[in-house]
Chains A and B, each alone.
Chain A
Amino acid sequence: MKHFPAYYTVWHITGHYGLRVVAFLVLMFLMLPIVVIMPLSFNAEPFFTFTEGMLTFDPDAYSLRWYQEIVDDQKWRIAIRNSFVVGIAAALIATTLGTLAAVGLSSPWMPYKRLITALLLSPMIVPLIIIAAGMFFFYTRFNLVGTFTGLIIAHAALGVPFVIITVTATLSGFDRSLFVAGLSLGASPLKVFWDVVIPLIRPGVISGGLFAFVTSFDEVVLVLFLAGPEQRTIPRQMFSGLREQINPTILAVATLLVVLSAAMLFTLEVLRRRSARLGGAG
């Protein structure tokens, strides 16, 4: 039994345990839906619920058939490839441009800093449906709708704010005198940027890039409006699967995606710790 201070009444103690119970329930609320779909994805039957066999741990009630279906279905294979291609390309563009911009934005000399920052962060705030509608109207004029180029540009724009936020945060712990020192030794700003700044802010850049990748990897609204049949991505395939025909293949895909997010989370945590060790904020 925990020892409470003498002035605690029974109400204080109830509150103490009550808080634990509430926190536990909220954590369950957060995690349970994600955990529940995992065993369901091994269901031998085409249902979205636990069969009697599953509850009695009958091995025949479990199967890998829905995972096999992902492998067998050409649409899922194309979708998986597209998601990675678009995600990586969009993340590269967003990271390159975003990192450069973050360096400029963290300079004390940056003009119109507040306005430009707000502008560059706005893709994060404007609802996706508005972005999608606008891009559909505008990209059409350049024949970018239904192309990989169009989708990659669109996703790169969405990823930019995340790169700016993470890299700016890393730069705030960065000693600017190193930059000035480099310049005063006669190096060009770009050379200083490449040889001095980049190695120091690398953890921030990588986590920004990861954020940009995940943003693209999860995104479905822009895909719905801008992609043609050849650019279908995993979320797009899931969206039509959920709308049209609910089948446990989606649960298998979902399970794989949860595993992937866990891996990303782990990578980010490692990066954050390394960055913290290097003295930058993460």
Chain B
Amino acid sequence: MKKHLTLLATAALTASPLMAQDLTVTSFGGAYGAAQMEHMIQPYMDASGVNVLFEDYGGGIAEMKAQVEAGNILWDVVDIEVIDLERACAEGYLEVIDQSMLPAGDDGVAAADDFIPDALANECGVGNIVWSVVFAVNTDNGPGPQNIADFFDVDAFPGNRGLRKRPQVNMEWALIADGVEPEDVYGVLSTEEGQARAFAKLDTIKEDIVWYDSWSQAPVLLNDGGATMVQSANGRIFAAIQDDGAPFEIVWDSHVYDLDVWAIMKGTENVDLAMEFIQSATMTVPLSGMQDVAYGPTRRSAQALLSDDVKANLPTAHLDEGLKADGIFWADYGESLGEKFNEWLLQ
């Protein structure tokens, strides 16, 4: 029997050699991950012959930080929200990217002019999508909330609220719901009083919040009745409506729009391959493919490839109702507000 086990182990080891995955790309999974797989990863694998291991994570910088500080770099390329990018770059978790190596758009316009300015604003990332944090309701539950103040009004709109378990966006929404003008939000949030005010507003719905860790859970919660309204990346809700016919509705009021970028983990051995992947994934056609999940492209040349019915659902069609996520603010305050947020959660 022992002999059999040894044989079995040898067989398992040789029959399927522990093939080294050539490149590990980490993103957010779900409908967004599926779109990236189809338009960015698979075409790259087909063209280059490189094997990509496509990982999911829940966002934030903790996992990158752990990898860099312990010196175990497990990822190569990571899709990161700009709200976290400034911090990850300033704290040395990401490689600086030579943006001059990016190819021109399909219409021949040089990358520096083809990309929208925000997409190349940080030296550690290359813009990938324009997206937004919105909240969505399940229309099966009757007339739902129309604005962010309604979201915080548990008397008028009872039911659970699904929120992502981190301070980002939640603090902004709390202040807007409490009457702070969107343009003043980050100024107010820089003060102790402003932070206390945001927590006090969150306290009013604390009992009704269902916390989730990953964007993929938002449409699930809304679908199975775990929450009657959820915070979500707009594309997840769009995909649920479009693909599964889910009875969801996006509320654009006070949405917090942002970019996602591709970035390279500091210290990875595959820097060159990672750069090659980013060059491929941020070309005009792959970027335009993100319209599957209603995320806007970061290249102007990709705008032409968008279908008309998607355009109305892109965050860029609703900019006047929204607030731009401030990555610099969160680079400075992410740590201290994160600690306060966690202590608040445990109280």
Contacts and interface: CB of A to CB of B under 8 A. Distances in A.
Whether A associates with B in a native complex is yes
Nearest to A95: B2
B21 A230 contact: yes
A48, A145, A245: most-surrounded residue (chain B CB, <10 A): A245
A250 interface: no
A92 B5 contact: yes
Interface of B: 1-2, 5-6, 8-9, 12-13, 16, 18, 20-21, 24, 26, 29-30, 53, 55-56, 58, 70-72, 74-75, 213-214, 216-217, 220, 224
A206 B1 CA distance: 8
Contact of A244 (B9, B70, B74, B213): B213
Given A244-B214, A244-B216, A245-B220, A146 B72 contact: yes
Contacts of B71: 140, 143
B74 A148 contact: no
Interface stretch (A82-90, A116-124, A214-222): A82-90
Contacts of A146: 72, 74
Contacts, number: 70
B162 to A, nearest CB: 14
A160 B5 CA distance: 17
B65 to A, nearest CB: 14
Contacts of A246: 220
Given A89-B9, A244-B216, 13 more contacts: A48-B224, A85-B18, A91-B5, A148-B18, A209-B2, A229-B53, A244-B29, A244-B56, A244-B213, A244-B217, A245-B30, A245-B217, A246-B220
A145 B67 CA distance: 10
Give the most central of A136, A143, A205, A229: most B CB within 10 Å: A229
Determine the main DSSP class of B at the interface with A. mixed
A275 B75 CA distance: 48
B16 A81 contact: yes
A143 B72 CA distance: 7
**Pairs A-B, 7 closest by C-beta atoms:** A228-B74, A145-B72, A244-B214, A88-B9, A245-B216, A140-B70, A229-B55
A89 B9 CA distance: 7
A145 B70 contact: yes
A243 interface: yes
Interface of A: 47-48, 81, 84-85, 88-89, 91-92, 95, 136, 140, 143, 145-146, 148, 202, 205-206, 209, 228-230, 240, 243-246
A229 B74 contact: yes
Task: Determine which residue in A48, A206, A243 has the highest number of CB atoms from chain B within 10 A of its CB, and name it.
Answer: A243
A183 to B, nearest CB: 24
A81 B16 CA distance: 8
Nearest to A227: B74
Contacts of B224: 47-48
Given A136-B70, A148-B18, A84 B1 contact: no
A229 B24 contact: yes
A91 B8 CA distance: 12
Nearest to A85: B12
A151 to B, nearest CB: 12
Nearest to A247: B220
Contacts of B216: 244-245
A132 B1 CA distance: 32
Contact of A81 (B8, B12, B56, B220): B12
Contacts of B2: 95, 205-206, 209
A142 to B, nearest CB: 11
B23 to A, nearest CB: 10
Contacts of B72: 140, 143, 145-146, 228
A264 B58 CA distance: 36
Contacts of B70: 136, 140, 145
B53 A230 contact: yes
Nearest to B16: A81
Contacts of A89: 9
Contacts of B26: 229
B72 to A, nearest CB: 4
10 contacts: A88-B9, A91-B5, A140-B70, A143-B72, A206-B1, A206-B2, A230-B24, A230-B53, A244-B29, A245-B216
Q: Which among A148, A202, A244 has the greatest number of chain B C-beta atoms within 10 A?
A: A244
Contacts of B53: 229-230
Contacts of A243: 213-214, 217
Contact of A229 (B21, B30, B58): B21
Given A140-B72, A146-B74, A84 B12 contact: yes
Contacts of A206: 1-2
Contacts of B9: 85, 88-89, 92
A145 B69 CA distance: 13
A95 B3 CA distance: 13
Contacts of A240: 56
Nearest to B69: A140
A209 B5 CA distance: 10
Nearest to A139: B72
Nearest to B73: A146
Nearest to A84: B12
